[in-house]
Structure 1
Amino acid sequence: MTHPRRRAAAEAIAAKDPRGRIRVVTDPDPSGPPTALRTADPSWSCVGPDATHHVVFQDDVLIADNFFPYAEKVAAAVPGEAVAFYEGWEGRNSGVVRLGALTGAQWAYAIDEHVPSLALMLPADAARGYRRFAAEHGGGWPYDVVIQRYLKALDIPVRIAVPSTVDHDDVPSIAGNSTHGWRRATFFTDRAPLFAEPDRTCPEFSVVPFYQYSESKCAVRQAEGWECLDTDRYLRRAGLLDRCEAGLAAADLPALPGTVCRQVWLTAFATGAVVAGLTDRDPEPAAARAVFEALGPGGLCEEYTGAELVPMIPLVRDLALTAFAAGRAAHRATADAPRPAPVPGVVVTGGDPAFAAQLARLLTDAGRPAVHAERLDPAAPAVPGAPDAVIHLGSPHDTGYPLADLLADAEKLGARRLVHASSAAVYRGGAAEDRTEDSVPEPPKDAEARLWWDAEQQCRAWGRQSGTPVQIVRFAEPVGPHAPLGGVLADWMLRAWTRRPMPLTEGRRHQIVDYRDMAGALAALLARPAGPEVCNVASAGYDETALAELVTETARRTPWEQAPAPAAHTPLMSTDLITAETGWRPSASVRNGARAQAQWLACDTHDDLVGLWA
């Protein structure tokens, strides 16, 4: 697939197949907005009548020698799978390739992220069906996101080659991806194996450390899907953070900018710990050097040019190799040490189950062991004995667990405290100045605000009747994975992903709360006897333009346009009270949380979002 301006390059790639099976497909509307999605339709549709598989190459690839006989063997051995012959060093799946290389695997299954589609092979019938799916569900989403959702809909796994047998050529991106910086494979071989051996075990890792957007993260498989969390948080859960920090403090650190040394150390240390839990075998030295040489460029390519990254590569590699060895040693030293699970005393209910389960884990990280339960069950309680607290993610629009039922169940369980997570929407339609907790003594006139206010009053009345302390926490618009989709930021992110302009209204201001700050504020309240009946919680405030810029930085660059003011808007609220009462202050990186939400919207929620905005 190519653009007419790069047809010559595409024809040179096509000529590499000794059997002449590659067809050059050009953009059907080359004067339109640059997007690979448009050219993907005819590229996947031109399947030969007798073909069993179909491979689509983008026009900026380098292909290993012996690739085509190798691909034929792979197709014969795994007829029902998608095969990615390339994975870039800048994605989550770069961590999958790194783990595969370090454990001696030739293949590894991708985790939830956009499918690496620079050189992708599908079974022929799946290839033929792509056009219809894209027509129904494309809706402007990026091509690699659409194909990820398509393969998930068909329940076709994506197998990644380790090492890659296709690399990314360093040419400008016509589709606008040059803003992502220098992009190459995590691990590339210039000669494909004589025997692909795809029938060997293809691991499916449950913990994947990766370095992306200058941040060290771990993707961890949970019951409700993948959780992506800061690596230091994962290491704390694994009981390895102190050893990691001690190793970093003792290391001879190279001269690298900012927090690069720490983020690289965290990533490589966690990688070593994960690898040690998978195999006792030492990795091949050449493979270890190669995958850690790709670590720095992959994590930093959005912020540094290729010329700036080249001198960093050996510094990052050597530091990462040291941290990798330290992580392996730490895992081995602690593998047999007992780590009793904390006894939960807090139950989180209501809201989106994935968001509530995520919040329960974050509360546990913050020292308030918690579990998630979709409903309180007096017959089979989620925690032993009466819970110290029930946190209910209330919403007047959630009919799955009516508030009256929640309150009755909490009373039967003997809950010692109820924390009702309400919303800043209770202030909708009020004056523009910062709202304090006593700003709505009477029922608000705005219909949406009144729904939230009524729910709060129901909780207060129940608390007086039952004698149970009740606290209301009014959160700003939540930001993070699995966050509700009704807010302005989520709406604008969806518009950005689907190439629709964001409607900006002059003069509006917005507040958001990072999902980790939500957990921190709740933990701070629970660490003390029940205090103020109502608290406001927010992480940051933005004017209209600044919020739009946050979207373009963390989701996709998109234009915006002026729009008329809505009938009612939620003003900013003061968070001075919770700080005075508990000492809590927002500490999470909101940019980090917004990026996590953007990636979740694009890549992690096939069932929820297929067809949305189509």
Structure 2
Amino acid sequence: MSGPVWRAEEVRLSVAIMHHPVRGGAADRIVEACRPLSARIVPDPAPDAVRSPLRTAKVAWAAIADGATHHLVLQDDARLVAGFADRVADAVARRPAAGIALYTDWSSPQNSYLSRLAAVVGSPWAPLSPMEWTPALALLLPAGTAAELAAYLAPIPDEVTDDDQMIARFCRERDLPMLATVPHLADNRGMPTLVDGHGGRHHATVWAAPPTPSAAHWDVDPRTDAALAARSRYRRHDEYMVQVKDSRCLIRLLRPHTGEPGGNEFCWYWDDWCDLIGVSGREVTAGLAAHLDTLDGLRPPPRPAMELWAAGYLLGLDAARVRESLPAPLAPARDSTIRAAVASWAGSGLTAADAGALDAAGRAALIDLGAAAVALGLRRGGTAPFVAAGAPAGPHGEEPA
């Protein structure tokens, strides 16, 4: 394994918690969850002014404890895995020079898919998009880099509000490698947002189901990061993501060199574009039909089933191609991790009507189906995909979804 590997005891973490008083005792709960780490609560310096996460982030990123090797900033709507302090130290010891996100949002356009892809590949590290906003709910940087970030943010007007966009710009300008832990070590509690325009439900893409990861879990050859990162560098015309939104499976082309923002909505329906990523729509639907023929029990509703099956199958194919390109073989992903990745698609991607029509058994059947699609895609995966460069519309001339 190339690169430095620190022992966990050599990681000295500094922790700051961004807090707004309307959240009451939320930050106090996080302080307790961080122990034996000593976390400092950083209150909004102007809580009665127009809401601005950036205003508090400036203070939090500057609140680095003396002697710290790394600085972690948490937001007060985070929840943490059991044994959080040890889990984070173990992870940081394996990637001490990187920026590390302990969370990605389950419906983020790119980073959620990159986290799901790493989960299915079997890697504990998901290289994040250089263009999408940085997941700032639980973010860790080397202490020196954190100090540079604090200085970078300081002159930006508070009215900009979005600290995650400014952090992404900082990391992009410095070519700082940004990785997410897989599974995630933090989740969003689902508390109401404090900023206009950021509503909806927010949770982790790949939550860490018990037992939480051991120290050995994070010890993967860093060259694996490069193989996964090649999927989202905005350098090639065949970079794409798979998304489930409004009960539809969509393919998002990154379209490098167009200047489009990382959160653009240029997506196309999977059945119209999947042939350009190396699979026919007939293959996907035939796989679902064959799978349904094996079921004796409950079947999920047809439309959500088709869409989650397509997403899972395309994810499995993509993961198989990445695994082929790895410099060293990885053990297969844990079934629980794959299910967590699929479950967050079901939780974030269905319409309210489709989600409301599922009872607990129906939801479990839908997740079972998505996990089976991933497994089939992994078995059938092969040659790297090709996407036509610069196509302005879908193959039948339709506008983006």
Q: What's the TM-score once normalised by structure 2's chain length?
A: 0.74
Equivalent AA in structure 2 for residue 108 of structure 1: A
The C-alpha deviation readout for 1:346-371, integer Å capped at 9, x for no partner, is: xxxxxxxxxxx5236x58x45xxxxx
Unaligned runs of 5+ in 2: 1-17, 232-239, 293-297, 325-330
- 1:125 corresponds in structure 2 to 144
1:236 to 271, 275, 285: 275
| Residue of structure 1 equivalent to 2:368 | 318
The Cα shift of 1:272 comes to: 1.7
Q: What letter is aligned with 1:588?
A: E
**Are 1:102 and 1:275, in contact at CA under 8 Å, matched by a contact in 2?**
yes
Letter in 2 for 1:296: A
Asked if 2 retains the 8 angstrom alpha-carbon contact of 1:70 and 1:195, the reply is: no
Distance 2:143 2:387 in 1: 48
Q: Summarize the alignment of residues 98-137 of structure 1 with structure 2, pairs less than 5 Å apart.
A: 98-111=116-129, 112-134=131-153, 135-136=155-156
Larger radius of gyration: 1
| Residues 97, 162 of structure 1: 8 Å contact kept | yes
Aligned residue for 2:76? Answer: 59
Indicate if the aligned counterparts of 1:99 and 1:208 stay in contact, CA closer than 8 A.
Answer: no
Q: How does 1:348-427 map to 2 (within 5 A)?
A: 358-359=390-391, 362=393, 365=395
Distance 1:38 1:86 in 2: 21
Pairing 1:212-227 to 2, within 5 Å after superposition: 212-219=245-252, 224=257
Structure 2 residue 214 is matched with structure 1 residue 193: yes
Shift, 1:19, TM fit? 4.2
User: In the alignment, is the contact (CA less than 8 A) between 2:242 and 2:314 conserved in 1?
Assistant: yes
Counterpart position of 2:6: none
Q: Does 1:68 align with 2:85?
A: yes
Higher relative CO (CA 8 A, sep ≥ 6), structure 1 or 2? 2
The superposition leaves residues 290-317 of structure 1 with CA deviations (integer Å, 9 ceiling, x where unpaired) of 22122111213x7469877764532431
Aligned with residue 35 of structure 2, among 18, 21, 32: 18
AA at the equivalent of 2:25: A
Paired residues for 1:228-307 under 5 Å? 229-230=267-268, 231-241=270-280, 242-248=282-288, 252=292, 254-256=299-301, 259-279=303-323, 282-300=332-350, 303=352
Q: TM-score, normalised by structure 1?
A: 0.50
Relative distance call for 1:282 and 1:43 in structure 2 (3 A) is closer
Aligned partners of 1:240 and 1:330 also within 8 Å = no
Q: Distance between the aligned counterparts of 1:57 and 1:82, measured in 2?
A: 14
Shift of 1:234: 4.1
Q: How well do the aligned residues superpose, as a CA RMSD in angstroms?
A: 3.4
- The change in CA–CA distance for 1:178 and 1:308 in structure 2 (over 3 A counts) is farther
Structure 1, residues 221-279: CA drift from partner, whole Å, max 9, x if none? 6663889643334421134123113334566494548x533332221111121122233
Distance 1:129 1:108 in 2: 24
* Sequence identity (%): 23
Distance in 2, matches of 1:22 and 1:233, equals 50
Secondary structure of the corresponding residue to residue 59 of structure 2: helix
> Which residue of the partner structure matches residue 5 of structure 1?
22
Unpaired segments ≥5 residues, structure 1: 343-356, 367-519, 521-586, 593-614
Q: Secondary structure at the match of 1:164?
A: coil
Q: How much has 1:141 moved relative to structure 2?
A: 5.1
Change in CA separation of 1:62 and 1:141 when aligned onto 2, cut-off 3 Å: closer
Match of 1:152 among 172, 177, 191: 172
Report the 3-state secondary structure (helix = DSSP H, G, I; strand = E; otherwise coil) of the residue aligned with 2:73: strand
**Alignment match, 1:46:** 63
Match for residue 173 of structure 1 among 193, 198, 203: 193
1:96: Cα distance to partner?
Answer: 1.6
Please give the secondary structure, in 1, of the residue aligned with 2:207.
coil
